[in-house]
Structure formats: structure tokens, C-alpha cells
Structure 1
């Protein structure tokens, strides 16, 4: 679905990404981890089309991302930034409605899908609220819901349980503002959508929370890939020491993904 080939990005004399190769297929949950400033968010923003001066090749659905009409690509790829600032007095449901602007459907159909997603993400009680008055965690859940609403097909395009087939969700620190209850709940919801064909690339510092959901893990350091593969193959003391500069303690878990501590 998404493929990067030898992708590099520089800003002046600084190399932000160098020689990255990766592939995400429908249903994959790829987790990108690494220390601050290693290029994780830059990688997401590059795939999201916010950095256009990269070298190499980025293809989506067998076609260069630069060749996709922007409105069509918006139906297939959504990006949730780490910080979502709202300058205007939008209420919650108006933010979600922005995710449906490229769809050809009635207002009734649009509202039905929005209410459905709001119920799944437990944000229906926020309807009618100015998003500027929401807590950081509430606002984060609203913008994740908006991205998912953006990727939902309209009523005439439903695919019998594979509504997210061939679609990509990019998440930058999606649980950073969430409390303990909603962190796990959000990951369970997103992972459930992977079963409907959604491909996910998730950047997170909350490694122990994210790893059990990952089908692929990438360790980044200074814009380069140190290791890539399943969590059980990538997460070991040597790789983590090389990535973060500290020697961790790995506690075995029943799911073969170790718990990481100092």
C-alpha cells in the first residue's frame, strides 16, 4: 500500500532522514520509535506530504504520492499531528464534519457516520462544545476521530467489513495527552480498524503501550533505520542501547513482546 525507497531529507546542512526503505500493507500497524530529534515526526510529515523536497521515492497504491489528486488522496490517507491547534470557534461536530468535505453524500449520511465514530471513540458528550475549551486529551480524541471519519467510505462504498482497505492513518504521539483509561482504549480501537484493512504508522514514546499492537517496528536514530521487523525480533537490549544510549532491562511477557524498564 505504501512504499518508501531510499528516502532522504535534508534541511540546509542537517540531514533529517537518510536512506529509508519501508513498506506498509493493508492491516499493518507500524510503530516508529527512537529518541527525541531522531526523525520520527519528520518521517510522518514526509509521508503526509508536508515535506516535498525529499529524495527517493514514496509510492501509495502503486503510484507516486505526487501523482495523486489531493482530494482523492485525502480519502485514503489521513494525518493526526501531535499538536492540534484550533484558531476558530468550531464545535466538536463541525471539526468531524471537516473530515467529510470530499465525500459525495447527503448531510444525513454524513451525520450518521460522524455519530457512529463519535460513539466508538466516546466523544459524543463533547458535541456542542467549542473545541478550544476541551482538555488536551479530549481534543486529541476529537482529531483522531476526524481522521478516521475522513477515511470512511460513504454509504454507497461500504465493503462488508473492509471499509478501511487500502487506507493509511498516520499518528504522531496519539496517546500523549490521554489518561490511562483512554490510552489503551484508543489503541484497541485503532487496532480493530486494522482488521478492516487500515494501515497505520504510529510514532510514540510510550513504547510499552504501543508495542503489543505493532505488526512492524522501526528503530530510528539520526534519521537512519537501525532495525526493522517484528517487535520480538527488533526489541532487544543491544538495539535499544544503540538507539537510546542506555542499557534497558527487558522483562519477558506472555505475548513475546518484552516490557522495557531501566
Structure 2
């Protein structure tokens, strides 16, 4: 297995060779033997010596400073996923940045638009509702009827549903697992986006209103999301047991939650009935504003 230094060097060379001088704001320089930036050009953009860049690319220099890594990421025009990879290969922790993303990439939007026959919603990394389709609204209730704060799944669960109830039926073990996952996810969002005041305020408000949330928050647990089966108690059709999957979109930290039923079951028939209702309603994918 290649050493971390060798892996970092190979990545730097690959990224350098794909960036053109024009993209980097430099003159093209006429005929070039290799595509992309020369070492001298990248070193100039980053503010390091050519010798140091050569040692980085050859795996002979280790532990570049956060300042150098940040300058390399900017000069090489790395996306968020590549930026995180750069830091990991250098043995460093990627610095947090900005606010929790809410925008849905075009390719992801096209994908979810084609999934109208599946109850589906899009959440941010902090579990704010971004979009939902008509079938989701039929199954779990229309988020449009909720105020802005209640459209956050974690707030709704810990601050309102434990009083008013939820359509999702959970036994004690399922509730414990769900609560731990949600609190761990919100802590990750708070750690990753420390400049997002809304996330910090949400966590603070939940610690005030719910002792269970406050207790879980103090544990600093990491609880990964996992596929599960959930029973949704529809007000007219009764219990519907469905598989629940969570897809995470790299680079945007969005989560797509979708439900599905085992073919040939009574649950699948009930989901078909909800599809008919959603289609009759003629509603398109909704989005928060």
C-alpha cells in the first residue's frame, strides 16, 4: 500500500495537470509539453517554493501547513469533496466552512423529479426540510402546513411530536435509536458549519425544551444512519409498514429520505392508493422558501 505522502503527491500531480493556466488566471504561455499548470506556476499561485512543491509531489515532504493546504485547494480549483480528500491525504482535518447547504444540485434534482412514485423528501445536514413530493405529503402530512421551525425534523420530533404525536409509530428501541441518530447528526452539522447561527440556535433551543435531547447532546456520540423499517399510521388508511432509506449527496450534505413497500404486500396496495390520491391532487414537488 502506498504511503500517505505518495498518495498526496499523486493527487497533487493529477489535479495540477487538469487545471489550465487560463483557468488559474495566468497567461497560456504558448506551446506546452504537458497539460495543465507547470510546477513553477502552481508554486507561484500557492506562495511556496518550487523545491517544496516537488518534494510534496514526490512524497518526500509531509505535514504541509493548513495555510498551504488551503492555498493548494484554491489554486487547484478543488470541489468540496476533493478539498476534503486533500486534507485527509495530508493527515489534516478539513476545516469547517460556511452555512449548511440548502441548494439541490441540478443532477440530483433531475433524479428526484423522476421518483414521483416514491414518497420522498430532501433534508439538509441539520434536517431542515428542503423539498418533498405529493406522495410524501399524502403519507406523512404536508410540510407546507407547518411553520418554518417545525419543518426541521429534529425540532418537530423533540419539541412537538412527543406532545402532539407522530404518524410514525416507534417502540422504545426504535425511538432510542432514532433519537441518538438525530442528535449525532445535528452535532456533526454544528461542528462542520460553526458559522451557521441557525444550527447553533436550534441546538441551544432543543437543550432548553427537551431534557432527553440535552442528555444525548452531552454524550458526544457518533451514531450512523442505517436503513430501517417504519410503520406509518395514516389517519384514513391505518398502519403502513415501509422500508426507509436515507441517501446522502456528496458535496452538498443533503439527505434524500424515501419509503418503499415490499411488492405484493398489503402495504404496497396501500401505497398504491396513496399514489392515486397524490396523482389526482396534481401537485408537483414542493420546496421551502
TM-score between the two structures when normalised by the length of structure 2: 0.23
Larger radius of gyration: 2
Which protein has the bigger strand share?
1
Of structures 1 and 2, the one with the larger relative CO (CA 8 A, separation 6+) is 1
